[in-house]
Structure 1
Amino acid sequence: MLRLNVGMKSSEDGGTGTLGIGALAARFGLATHVLRHWETMGLLHPGRDAGGRRRYGADDLTRVATILVLKEAGLGLNTIRSLSASTGRTARHGILRPAAEELRSRIAAAQASLELIEGGLNCSYEDVTRCPNYRRLIAERVGPRSPAGEPVKPTH
């Protein structure tokens, strides 16, 4: 069995160099049911002791940290599972490219939201609807208008 050199107390590892599910969950601030769910999804593969209890070694610690980092990057568990199953660069790119595009889209939306909010903060008018920045953003959203004031339908 793997020995952990990560400063575990003997009360955590029972002298085996591994962690139980409660200790691993506490180490990362997770509920134990999260680790069980990740196991059912095939993301974790803990060993078992003689009593059938899950035992997590150094590789499992790394795997949990990896899952958390990827989740923080916005990847879902299914995507993380696909990444862990892929071995080639082409497969990895195929999995990550859509995630990157989605993230770019969310960043653009957040930037637009920040621009609107900062425009409202920097507006010297009492009525924010009179601010040039506000009017520009609304005009962009409304789009061009016909002479009769009707929205112009795009032609393709």
Structure 2
Amino acid sequence: MAVNEGLSIGALAKRTGLAVSAIRYYEAQGLIAPWRNAGGQRRFDRADLRRLSFVMIAQQFGFTLPQIKAELDRLPGGRTPTKADWTRISEGFRAALDVRIATLNKLRDNLDGCIGCGCLSLEACALYNPIDQAGEKGPGPRYLMGDEPAA
């Protein structure tokens, strides 16, 4: 296939493993922008393979489509993104991933103890929560979210 012919939506689906409907959805969300050939058929650039792969990976890490779109919007238009372009946008996710990794490590290390949910259901809680002190810090598993129990 010549480079200027682009990829059909079917070829893109086959290559990425995504359903055609998913590709259309990502198009509607502005994550990819196909063009039309002389016959009016939707065509995609080869760079869209990488964009869709990035979308799939970023979603597995828990990023939302608006977050992903914001990063993809930083890629250049009119040319295939380079390794430097991808490195630059990956830095946008690095801090968020570091926070998630720290949270997962804390969850793993404290899974058998209290996570500060305020349930008061454990008689021998590793992080005793008298009078639901964790609940005063806000909703959710406060200690897992980074709050420290009262000394």
User: Could you state the TM-score of these two structures normalised by the residue count of structure 2?
Assistant: 0.55
Measured in 1, the distance between the counterparts of 2:132 and 2:22 equals 51
The answer for the alignment partner of 1:7 in structure 2 is none
Q: Does 1:33 align with 2:18?
A: no
Task: Indicate the structure with greater helix content.
Answer: 1
Measured in 2, the distance between the counterparts of 1:112 and 1:53 equals 53
Consecutive unaligned residues in structure 2, runs of 5 or more: 76-88, 113-121, 137-149
Paired residue type of 2:72: S
Larger Rg: 1
Contact 1:82 1:95 in 2 (8 A): no
Contact 1:42 1:81 in 2 (8 A): yes
The answer for the alignment partner of 2:140 in structure 1 is none
Count of aligned pairs between the two proteins: 116
Contact 1:19 1:55 in 2 (8 A): yes
Q: Give the 5 Å matches for 1:67-146.
A: 67-86=55-74, 96=93, 99-100=96-97, 103-104=100-101, 106-108=103-105, 110-112=107-109, 115-116=111-112, 135=124, 138-140=125-127, 142-143=128-129, 145=130
- Which secondary structure does the structure 1 equivalent of 2:13 belong to? helix
How far 1:105 sits from its partner (Å)?
6.0
Note closer, same or farther for the CA distance 1:106–1:22 as it changes in structure 2 (3 Å cut): farther
Note closer, same or farther for the CA distance 1:63–1:111 as it changes in structure 2 (3 Å cut): same
Contact 2:7 2:43 in 1 (8 A): yes
Measured in 1, the distance between the counterparts of 2:132 and 2:57 equals 46
Q: What is the CA RMSD across the aligned residues, in angstroms?
A: 3.9
Note closer, same or farther for the CA distance 1:98–1:50 as it changes in structure 2 (3 Å cut): same
